[in-house]
């Protein structure tokens, strides 16, 4: 019984022409051999299994061939080629830098370099995984690598070029190997299958090529594994079972359920997939890629980006016709958002289920364009006390569909909608009195004063007109204009602080800083940092709503400013401290220059 040789070794390329997926690099090397323009050092970098060491061996064999062919390939018949093929050539040396990474190993290599070749013109030294060499080994290798003997050529191979020191890179010609495409991998796997007498399906080879992720050695290893599993008949179903790959059929079933808006069916399919042992992030990532592939298949110009078998491609094209571009855009956004939040979620299965529910709602009675607007919370309007009792005539007038003739906002034109997030600018000291005056004026108008929050009244009025015309906006209950004291305000402030359980940062901020009354309805919060100000600003709507309800006053207004005296300054570096000392005493700089002192 003959010894079994894995396909990655048995079908390893022996000529430049048989190298798969690296035509540009092999052409460059062949032209260099033809023009006798050989460099003394080469660096081959790229992912694993793409042909770096293979090309280095072919290059070493070709430049020592005594009778090269017309297309500058090795003849495989001369003494040098035969010795190389039988692995007894003394002109080609391979060194594994992963296990020989010390200074002594490099010194032994340098001693061997001095000996000229016995057969052929060059002695070629192939150093694999060169990035594993130690720093001292690199330094010992520099001089020899820069000026080697005329008969010595070094070929360095690595998967992590960024770990090689720049002085080594500058002495080499760098060749970057690309990942092998799926089409090239499938074609080579089909060639190997034909030579081995193995029956295959195109979809099965495509799955193997995708699993290999651009590495031919990995693809051939998976091929051997699948041949052993199937007994020489590689089918699509056998490959997905052996490699534990999620079948396309599940994605098509999910797509059908999502387009039908069938939440129950989606959850049942998800449960079936999870029971097969697939992780939730793998599922949601596959759904994202599935919708991306559907989007690609909607146009013939982009369909070439989808590299699968012909039968699966036809199914994707048929499914893509049922989906609108807008639906696919929103579906990709929802699934990608779920993928990003998966690792942070404590209940990961619920996160995936919620994503599927949102996907089902895209194709429901709602239009897909309304998904983005659902993310924004609808803020209920704050109605002044003067408009708490509306007459039936006013109600009928507000419900009239006729447009208003006067586009300018009136002082008492209706409720003001407070935006979801209000950016509170820092008021200047000279403008504090102006803020108080404006707040007092707002009491007479009996509307909410937003002057201290930098919000334009005209923009809010326009916002009011838009929101009042939309259905589903409900009015808020009125709290009146009851007067209150500063102690009552502080007590309400503390009560709201104690009710915060999840917002720990906001709770700490409110515990540290207390409000101070500026007028009957305007109060100020003085903080030390911009971060504390941002916490209060982001939660100002909920905070003001609570205070207005607790103190029974709809005109309560909050201003926030950063204290200049207590502001926390950024810590200075050693250089900044020294510069300040030099400004106070210039002789320090002179002393530093005379003695050549430097900051540690």
Which of 120, 114, 171, 115 lies closest to 143 in space, CA to CA?
171
pLDDT for position 329: 92
Scanning 94-181, the segments in alpha helix (DSSP H) are 103-113, 135-146, 166-169
| 138 contacts 168 by C-beta, under 8 angstroms | yes
pLDDT for position 112: 87
Residue 140 gets the label, from left (phi > 0), alpha (psi -120 to 50) or beta, of: alpha
* Pairwise CA distance, residues 442 & 449, whole Å: 6
* Pairwise CA distance, residues 77 & 66, whole Å: 9
Mean pLDDT split into 10-residue runs, the chain, 600 residues: 79 88 90 89 91 91 87 86 86 86 87 84 90 89 87 92 90 91 90 90 88 88 90 87 85 91 92 89 91 86 71 83 90 92 90 92 58 41 44 42 44 42 44 47 40 40 44 53 86 87 80 86 86 83 87 88 64 77 83 78
User: How many other CB atoms are there within 10 angstroms of residue 457's CB atom?
Assistant: 14
* Pairwise CA distance, residues 560 & 515, whole Å: 9
Q: Which domains, from first to last, does the chain contain?
A: 7-176 (3.40.50.300), 182-242 (1.10.8.60), 248-374 (1.20.272.10), 386-395+413-562 (no CATH), 572-600 (no CATH)
Q: How many CA atoms lie within 13 A of 272 on its CB side?
A: 13
* Pairwise CA distance, residues 80 & 84, whole Å: 6
pLDDT for position 579: 82
Q: From start to end of 212-272, where are the E strands?
A: 233-234
């Amino acid at each position: 019984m003959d010894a079994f040789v894995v396909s990655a070794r048995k079908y390893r390329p022996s000529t430049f022409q048989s190298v798969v997926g690296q035509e540009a690099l092999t052409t460059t090397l062949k032209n260099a051999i033809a023009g006798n323009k050989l460099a003394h050092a080469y660096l081959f970098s790229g992912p694993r299994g793409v042909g770096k060491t293979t090309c280095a061996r072919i290059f070493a064999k070709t430049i020592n061939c005594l009778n090269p062919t017309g297309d500058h390939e090795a003849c495989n018949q001369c003494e040098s080629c035969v010795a190389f093929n039988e692995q007894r050539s003394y002109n080609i040396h391979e060194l594994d830098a992963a296990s020989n990474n010390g200074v002594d190993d490099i010194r032994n290599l340098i001693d061997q370099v001095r000996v000229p070749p016995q057969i052929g013109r060059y002695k070629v030294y192939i150093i694999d995984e060169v990035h594993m060499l130690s720093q001292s080994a690199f330094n010992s290798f520099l001089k020899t690598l820069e000026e080697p003997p005329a008969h010595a050529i070094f070929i360095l191979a690595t998967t992590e070029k960024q770990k090689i020191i720049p002085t080594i890179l500058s002495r080499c010609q760098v060749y970057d190997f690309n990942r092998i495409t799926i089409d090239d991998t499938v074609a080579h796997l089909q060639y190997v299958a034909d030579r081995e007498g193995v029956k295959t399906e195109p979809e099965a080879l495509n799955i193997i090529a995708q699993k290999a992720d651009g590495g031919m050695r990995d693809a051939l290893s998976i091929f051997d594994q699948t041949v052993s599993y199937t007994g020489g008949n590689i089918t699509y179903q056998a490959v997905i079972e052996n490699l534990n790959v999620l079948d396309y059929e599940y994605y098509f079933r999910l797509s059908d359920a999502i387009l039908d808006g069938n939440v129950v069916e989606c959850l049942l399919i998800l449960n079936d997939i999870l029971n097969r042992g697939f992780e939730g992030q793998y599922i949601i990532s596959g759904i994202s890629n599935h919708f991306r592939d559907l989007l690609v298949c909607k146009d013939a110009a982009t369909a070439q980006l989808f590299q699968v078998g012909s039968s699966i491609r036809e199914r994707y094209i048929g499914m893509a016709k049922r989906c609108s571009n807008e639906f696919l855009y929103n579906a990709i956004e929802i699934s990608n958002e779920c993928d990003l939040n998966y690792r942070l979620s404590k209940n990961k299965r619920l996160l995936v289920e919620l994503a599927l529910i949102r996907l089902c709602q895209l194709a429901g009675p709602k239009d897909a364009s309304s998904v983005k607007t659902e993310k924004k919370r609808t803020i209920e309007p704050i109605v002044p006390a003067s408009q708490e009792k509306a007459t039936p005539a006013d109600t009928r007038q507000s419900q009239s569909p006729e447009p208003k003739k006067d586009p300018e906002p009136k002082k008492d034109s209706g409720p003001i909608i407070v935006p979801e997030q209000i950016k509170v600018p820092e008021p200047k000291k000279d403008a504090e009195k102006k803020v108080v005056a404006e707040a007092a004026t707002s009491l007479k108008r009996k509307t909410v004063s937003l002057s201290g929050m930098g919000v334009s009244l005209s923009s809010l009025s326009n916002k009011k007109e838009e929101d009042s015309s939309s259905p589903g906006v409900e009015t808020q209950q009125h709290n009146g204009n009851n007067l209150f004291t500063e102690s009552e305000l502080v007590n309400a402030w503390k009560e709201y602080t104690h009710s915060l359980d999840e917002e720990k940062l906001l709770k700490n901020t409110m515990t540290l800083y207390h409000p101070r009354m500026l007028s009957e309805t305007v109060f100020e919060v003085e903080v030390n940092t911009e971060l504390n100000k941002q916490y209060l600003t982001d939660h100002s709507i909920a905070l003001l709503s609570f205070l207005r309800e607790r103190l029974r006053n709809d005109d309560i207004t909050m201003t926030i400013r950063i204290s200049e005296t207590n502001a926390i300054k950024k810590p200075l570096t050693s250089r900044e401290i020294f510069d300040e000392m030099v400004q106070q005493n210039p002789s320090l700089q002179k002393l530093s220059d005379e003695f050549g002192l430097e900051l540690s």
